[in-house]
């Protein structure tokens, strides 16, 4: 078996660490939410989720720039759009922590945790097996993305809409803000609400196309 480079070891460590953290987040949500409801989310799990989401986004962007952009079949646009969507959600939750009390926030945590766990496990296996993770885990990753991503996008959009109700109180958390800056902030969020779903749709369509193509190739191989 060939030895791994330092970059491969770092990617393996980062993905495995992220995998453990997302499992921990999902476990904590499944244990505490039935007992306490959404009351514990703003001060408890939400802070951990924000830090984990920030770590995952920074890692994804850095790993894409260093490694993944050199691999055939990867898309710079889809990676940037996905990371940008995560950053917008992260900033919204950090700026308006009351949004974490929404009943949709636990659903977002559940969906994103499931998707990230499968994705990080796939990346871990991909590095561990030297780019041969197996057809089953590859299909599972795409299937989870296809089924979860639309719901996750809708939930994220609704949460961003709910954050708009907090905008009139923006000067209370940002005392130095003026009316012009506040108007730009409102405009920026509205632009994100328009462009974000459209961009995510193209990323989603590309993944569906790759998934259906892999299934068709699998069917042809079985016939032969």
Token look-up 């940008």 returns: 84
1 within some domain:
no
CA distance 22 to 52: 8
| 48 assigned to some structural domain | yes
Say what the pLDDT of residue 73 is: 44
Which parts of the chain register pLDDT below 70?
Answer: 1-2, 40, 42-43, 64-81, 94-97, 164-186, 189-190, 192-200, 202-204, 206-207, 210-211, 213-224
Identify the pLDDT of residue 107: 92
Question: pTM of the predicted model, to two decimals?
Answer: 0.75
Residue 135 is part of which domain span?
6-223
Please report the pLDDT score of residue 224 as a whole number: 44
The pLDDT score that the predictor gives to residue 154 is 84
Q: Comparing C-alpha atoms, which of 108, 220, 223 is closest to residue 159?
A: 108
Structurally, how many domains does the chain consist of? 1
Query: Distance between CA 120 and CA 113 in Å, rounded?
Result: 10
Give the integer Cα–Cα distance in Å for 197 and 153: 7
């Amino acid at each position: 078996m060939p030895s791994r480079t330092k970059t491969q070891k770092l990617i393996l460590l980062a993905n495995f660490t992220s995998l453990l953290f997302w499992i921990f987040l999902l476990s904590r949500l499944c244990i505490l939410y039935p007992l306490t409801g959404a009351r514990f989310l703003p001060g408890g799990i939400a802070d951990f989720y924000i830090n984990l989401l920030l770590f995952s986004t920074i890692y994804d962007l850095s790993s894409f720039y260093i490694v993944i952009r050199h691999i055939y079949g990867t898309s710079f646009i889809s990676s940037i759009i996905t990371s940008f969507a995560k950053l917008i959600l992260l900033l919204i939750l950090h700026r308006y922590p009351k949004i974490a009390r929404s009943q949709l926030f636990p659903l977002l945590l559940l969906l994103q945790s499931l998707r990230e766990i499968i994705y990080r496990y796939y990346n871990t296996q991909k590095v561990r097996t030297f780019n041969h993770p197996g057809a089953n885990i590859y299909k599972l990753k795409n299937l989870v993305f296809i089924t979860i991503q639309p719901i996750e996008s809708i939930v994220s959009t609704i949460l961003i809409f709910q954050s708009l109700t907090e905008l009139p109180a923006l000067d209370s958390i940002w005392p130095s803000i003026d009316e012009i800056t506040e108007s730009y902030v409102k405009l920026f969020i509205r632009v994100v609400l328009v462009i974000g779903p459209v961009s995510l749709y193209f990323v989603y369509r590309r993944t569906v196309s790759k998934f259906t193509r892999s299934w068709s190739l699998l069917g042809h191989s079985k016939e032969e």
